[in-house]
Amino acid sequence: EGIGASLLTQQHPFYIELADAMRAEAQAQGVPLEVSIANQDLSKQLADVEDFIVKGVDVIVISPVDSQGVLPAIMKAKNAGIDVLTVDVPAAEVDVTSYIGTDNYTGGLRAGELMAEVLGEAGKVAIIDYPTVQSVVARVEGFKKALEDYPEMEIVAQQTGITRAEALAVAQNMLQANPDITGIFGFGDDAALAAAVAVKSAGLADQVKVIGFDGMEEARNAVDTDPVMVGVIQQFPGEMGKQAIDTAIAVMNGEEVEAEQPIVPGVYTGQ
């Protein structure tokens, strides 16, 4: 009876937009949808999926807490004869009916290229990361890969700042330790927005450019109004959510679907 969705978190605008889009599309199509929030805890995600199985849903949509660790949840669902779709984060080591998600590596590459462009292909760059999340690791890898083409560009610091408050402290401290930083790449909007605050409070607004990733409304507004925020890699969670529900309905109707449905992120540099 319907679709069960287990989402990574509900404390991030990206996932809120994703969930809202899924709910809207499900309602438009008249299909029951239940959403559980794993709150970044893999065993909660597994429990959520187990509870969906007991409830007897037809399709489960998962945005995995972790690409690898989600394996048993997917196996359980498949063993119970339920089709699984993944959104945003792919599952490793196991085939799912379809994966719908942003190409994070490409997004990282674009962020790197944008950084090189705004800094005139030379400068010292800092990264705020979140190393336990695979999609973030891919973004950072892409970003570094892009910078490899520019010998004048150097990465001088890389620190972890998961919440906005942590990212703010980390950015302040990196700027304090390396006052010649000219660019900061934040793994997400929170990290980038916090970095922009740190840059301004350190009085370095003329010197440092910040690039983010996610491209939610707050960050896009910042790019429009704040000269420090030069750009943001934009994901499209609304599109992703709609596509996930449409795919799930197609699966329920026995139609064939594409195994991978990548959504290429955009680059937003202001109006």
Partner 1 sequence: MTETTRYKADPLATVRSMMRQYGGIFLALVVLCVFFSLSNPRFMSVANMMNILQQVAVIAIAAFGMTWVILLGEIDLSVGSIIAVAGMVGAQVIGLGWGFAPALALTLLSGALMGALNGVLTAKLLLPSFIVTVATMSIYRGMVSLPTNGAPAMIMDPTWTAIGANSLLGVPIIIWIVIALFLANHILLSKTTFGRRTYLTGGNREAALYSGIKVDRMKIVIFMISGLMASISGILLSSRLYSAQTNAGMSYELDAIAAAVLGGTSLAGGTGTMVGTLIGALIIGALNNGMNMLSVPYFYQLIVKGLVILVAVWLDVRSKRRKA
Residues that bind partner 1 (CB under 8 A): 9-13, 15-16, 34-37, 39-43, 46-48, 50-51, 54-56, 66, 68-69, 71-72, 75, 93, 131-132, 134, 137, 157-160, 163-165, 168-170, 172-174, 176-177, 179, 190, 193-194, 197, 200-202, 218
User: Between 71-79 and 42-55, two packed helices, what is the crossing angle to 10 degrees?
Assistant: 10
Closer residue to partner 1 in complex, CB, 15/213: 15
| Vertex 102 angle, CA 109 and 165, to 5° | 80
Strands (E), 14-152: 33-37, 59-62, 83-87, 98-102, 123-129
- Rounded CA-CA distance 171/184 in Å is 9
CB 142, min distance to partner 1, A: 17
Q: Which is closer to partner 1, CB of 114 or CB of 128?
A: 128
Q: Which is nearer to partner 1, 41 or 121 (CB)?
A: 41
Q: Among residues 78 and 113, whose Cβ is nearest to partner 1?
A: 78
Dihedral angle sign, alpha carbons of residues 52, 57, 59, 61: negative
* Nearest-approach distance from CB 42 to partner 1, in angstroms: 5
Based on CB atoms, which residue is closest to partner 1, 117 or 217? 217
What tokens does 255 get?
């139609």
Using an 8 Å Cβ cutoff, are 235 and 102 in contact?
yes
Of the candidates 192, 140, 144, the residue with the CA atom closest to the CA atom of residue 171: 192
Least spacing, CB of residue 139 vs partner 1, in Å: 15
Is the Cβ of residue 115 or residue 127 nearer to partner 1 in the bound state? Answer: 127
Min. distance of Cβ 113 from partner 1 in angstroms? Answer: 26
Q: Provide, rounded to whole angstroms, the least separation between the CB of residue 257 and partner 1.
A: 26
- Closer to partner 1 at the Cβ: 15 or 143? 15
CB 263 within 8 A of CB 239: yes
Sign of the four-CA dihedral 38, 39, 44, 45: positive
- Do residues 174 and 109 make contact, with C-beta atoms less than 8 angstroms apart? no
- Single-letter code of the amino acid located at 132: T
Task: State the nearest-atom distance from the C-beta of 104 to partner 1, in Å.
Answer: 15
CB of 55 to partner 1, least distance (A): 6
